[in-house]
Amino acid sequence: MKKIMYAMTFVLFISLLAACGSETSSNSGNKPTAPDKFLTIGSGPMGSGWYPITTTMTEIYSNSFVNLNATQLEGGSTANIKSLNVGDIQMGLNYTPDFISALDGGFGFDEPIKDIAAIAALYPVYQTIATTADNKDINSIEDIVDKHIFLGPKGGGGPVAFWKMMKEYGIDEETIEAAGGQVSYGNYSDGASMLKDGNVDVFLGGGAPFIPALQEIEITNPIKVIPIEADKLASIEEKGIGITAGEIPAGTYKGIDKPTQTYVMETMLTVQSEFDKEYVYQLTKLFWENIDTFEEQVPERAKSFTIDTALNGIDLELLHPGAKQYYEEVGAIE
């Protein structure tokens, strides 16, 4: 009798395991399978605008693929591209001009990096060239040549785009040094403080569109933004190097009641070009199908995440085939 009961219990146990296994299989069957168990996404420093974006991405991807562990790694625009190249990350955020420079082996890169492909442009980053409002000697780009210029973090995306923009004016670092000017680097908070205290004359920073560090100092030291001339913007836009024309909206800073013309680069998402087409298709699809999650987690940035602008500043030939397939399906590419 006991043997019969043990046998029945064993059969029931096996049946329950089979049912659970079937249920698990059914649930996982609705999720795509990643070709690897790990996905590392290159971000910005903790506290940057990029960090919460990639935090949200890791949550989305970890929950959407079968047995995928998505994590993030602190970095920066050029650093993330270099990390992609050596395989420390498989996906990362960077700026469009840096992406083009990497392919060409241009500014910021010792040699061309070819094994990268674009997934999407996420949001525009407006470049602000500012001085204090009481600085009567600086009203145009030509006026900054002999001044002390702060360019933000060294090795970041801002200086790369700045020198490309200055090339339209015939200005480079040697020009500035020859005129008695000087260039400094550092974080935005330090740069804004230096501008406020008169230790630098000109501040460069990128924002979407405002720069918090400038908004903090303008409470006591109003600023003015130096415009970029329309013909120079048209010229650089035609070159297809990831820089486009834009305007810093009126009211972004106190006392600035008209839009200011400036140059814009896009924060973009890049991946290793060797990644499986179907995998990148799913990564792209899941990103855009979870916009509501981004809107909850990073509302200020996510309001600019749209399919309509997903290819801004990106040559279609540089898209990963998996991303291209998704955009063709949704009509973003005809």
Q: What is the pLDDT of residues 153-178, one digit of tens each?
A: 876 778 889 999 999 999 999 999 99
Encoded amino acid at 105, one letter: G
In sequence order, what are the beta bridge partners of 238?
Answer: none
Burial state string for 177-216 with b = 16 or more CB within 10 A and e = fewer than 16: eeeebebebeebebbbbbbbeeebbbbbbbbbbbbebbee
Task: Point out the residues of the chain with pLDDT beneath 50.
Answer: 1-27
In the three-class reduction of DSSP (H, G, I as helix; E, B as strand; rest coil), residue 183 is classed as strand
- How much is the pLDDT for 28? 55
- How much is the pLDDT for 240? 82
- How much is the pLDDT for 21? 45
The rounded Cα 87 to chain-centroid distance in angstroms is 19
CB 116 within 8 A of CB 270: yes
Show the DSSP H helices in 246-317 as ranges: 277-289, 291-297, 299-302
pLDDT in tens, 181-216: 999 998 888 999 999 999 999 999 888 888 888 988
- How much is the pLDDT for 213? 86
Q: Which of 228, 231, 305 is nearest to 266 (CA)?
A: 305
Instruction: Quote the pTM value.
Output: 0.77
Residues 6+ apart with CB under 8 A from 113: 81, 82, 84, 85, 102, 103, 105
Complete domains list, the chain, with CATH: 38-124+267-329 (3.40.190.10), 125-265 (3.40.190.10)
Q: What size, in residues, is the chain?
A: 334
- How much is the pLDDT for 12? 44
- How much is the pLDDT for 24? 39
Distance, CA of 238 to CA of 242 (rounded, Å): 10
- How much is the pLDDT for 29? 60
